[in-house]
Amino acid sequence: MKHRIVVLGAGYAGAYVAGNLARRLSPKDTEITVVNAVPDFVQRMRLHQLAAGRDIEAPKLADVFAGTGIRLRLARVTAVDPERQVVAVTDTDTDGVVGGELGYDTLVYALGSHGADHGVPGAAQHAFDVAARASALRLRERLDSLDRRGEGGSVVVVGDGLTGIEAATEIAEARPGLSVALIARGELGARLSAGARGHLRRACDRLGVTVLERTSVDAVEATRVRCADGTALASDATVWTAGFGVSPIAAAGGLEVTGNGQIVVDRTMRSVSHPNVYAIGDSAYAIGDNGRPLPMSCASAGYTGRQAIEAIVGRLTGRKIANTKLVYTYNHISLGRRDGILQTIDDEGQAKPKHQGGRQPARIKAGILKMALWATSHPTYGMPKRKHRLAAAPDAARREGAHVAASRGPRAQHRH
């Protein structure tokens, strides 16, 4: 029987890892299945652009994986049972509800993250978000209808993390008829260096974004946002960027997770509780080379993915497992299409005094987005053509055994 590798999620992390495993492992003794809920690759890093009105490419996963030998199953993962080594799925490409269980020998868990309201009343009902394509498109429709009305309108972006900053500036630039406010719990761009904060403030002024600092939102209503200080802000479209969470599926399946549901992994991205399970990207709680949790980010999806590829190929083929880099060194932030900030990060995860602002970082960011799309939609490019056969006991990993105890670290920060 072939060794069954099942990859859950075909985002930046999952698509990349699946393709690379297909390139490196021989199909004579491995079979790789990717399960993804939607048929195309979603460029999450550009969803604020989609919401603002831009069209973004969404390559079909069937094309991405064509010729790689990977089986694509369009299905929603509903449960993981790591003791029985099965995943429960409901197919999404059929009219009737079809589903079942999918057995695996090695599981790669890459289900990413989603917007989370952290229980703020009304946020789930009334706010929009840019964390998933469907919700970004809903926001776009609302902005279109406000534009069509021709009387202006107010957009309130809650949260001044990097996603909130990018969303507010992008919408303000693309929709000059609307007034955009950005709500920051502390000082605007608190995680940036002083110079970068100054650049951000000037960009907000230029684009007409009203910044409300040291403001917490208590509740979201249909046409306004209520703040903790008792004030209310009129809002025709509230954009919630103040929280990101991960699916409860891993925790429900009994995998060792952090308080926010990320799977705790070792240096090789292997679950510390279930050795046949690897977690990568936003779903993984991985410690970087600086001893700190890697933030949820596309960069971390790449680094954790590369390390998981080395570990899976190494363990299955009996090769030495290389330690690949696990770092987070830059924030690339777009401020609309023509401005941006490049902020370097030190080993403590803090902004270095040095930053770059203006057109050049905007161009670099646009290049990064293109590269990320290209790398994900050509997942096997540049990898060695020679396929490795499995070591004598291909299911060695299954027997590897005893569940490993591990301590939980501090809660991960994330890029958003």
Ligand X SMILES: Cc1cc2nc3c(=O)[nH]c(=O)nc-3n(C[C@H](O)[C@H](O)[C@H](O)COP(=O)(O)OP(=O)(O)OC[C@H]3O[C@@H](n4cnc5c(N)ncnc54)[C@H](O)[C@@H]3O)c2cc1C
Three state DSSP letters for 19-61: HHHHHHECCCCEEEEEEECCCECCCHHHHHHHHHCCCCCCCEH
CB-nearest residue to ligand X: 11
Measured from the CB atom, the residue of 304 and 317 that comes closer to ligand X is: 304
What is the SS3 assignment for 265? Answer: strand
Least spacing, CB of residue 51 vs ligand X, in Å: 8
Q: Is 163 in the site for ligand X (CB under 6 A)?
A: yes
Nearest-angstrom CA–CA distance, 171 and 154: 11
- Binds ligand X by CB under 6 A, chosen from 32, 80, 110, 172: 110
Cβ-Cβ contacts under 8 Å for 136 (sequence gap 6 or more): 47, 48, 50, 51, 129, 130
Length of the chain: 416
Nearest-angstrom CA–CA distance, 104 and 314: 18
Q: Is 6 in the site for ligand X (CB under 6 A)?
A: no
Q: Is 251 in the site for ligand X (CB under 6 A)?
A: no
Measured from the CB atom, the residue of 275 and 340 that comes closer to ligand X is: 340
What is the SS3 assignment for 311? Answer: helix
Number of Cβ within 10 Å of residue 84's Cβ equals: 10
Residues that bind ligand X (rule: CB under 6 A) add up to a total of 36
The mark string for 322-351 relative to ligand X (x by CB under 6 A, - otherwise) is ----------x-------------------
Q: What is the DSSP string of 170-237?
A: HHHHH-TTSEEEEE-SSSTTTTS-HHHHHHHHHHHHHHTEEEE-S--EEEE-SSEEEETTS-EEE-SE
- Binds ligand X by CB under 6 A, chosen from 42, 168, 316, 335: 42
Of residues 43 through 62, those in contact with ligand X by CB under 6 A are 44-45, 47-48
Measured from the CB atom, the residue of 298 and 312 that comes closer to ligand X is: 298
Q: Which residue has the tokens 């990207």?
A: 281
Dihedral sign from CA coordinates of 387, 391, 393, 395: negative
Q: Is 281 in the site for ligand X (CB under 6 A)?
A: yes
- φ/ψ (deg, to 5) at 277: -115, 130
Q: Is 10 in the site for ligand X (CB under 6 A)?
A: yes
Q: Which two tokens stand for residue 71?
A: 């089986």
Measured from the CB atom, the residue of 39 and 409 that comes closer to ligand X is: 39
Q: Is 138 in the site for ligand X (CB under 6 A)?
A: no
Least spacing, CB of residue 38 vs ligand X, in Å: 5
Least spacing, CB of residue 100 vs ligand X, in Å: 14
Q: Is 117 in the site for ligand X (CB under 6 A)?
A: no
- Binds ligand X by CB under 6 A, chosen from 301, 311, 316, 373: 301
Q: Is 131 in the site for ligand X (CB under 6 A)?
A: yes
Secondary element (H or E) of residue 332: strand 330-334
Q: Which two tokens stand for residue 371?
A: 């590269």
Of residues 67 through 86, those in contact with ligand X by CB under 6 A are 76-77
- Binds ligand X by CB under 6 A, chosen from 5, 6, 7, 13: 13
- Binds ligand X by CB under 6 A, chosen from 5, 6, 7, 9: 9
Write out the residues near ligand X by the rule CB under 6 A. Answer: 9-14, 35-38, 42, 44-45, 47-48, 76-77, 110-113, 130-131, 163, 166, 247, 281-283, 296-299, 301, 332, 415
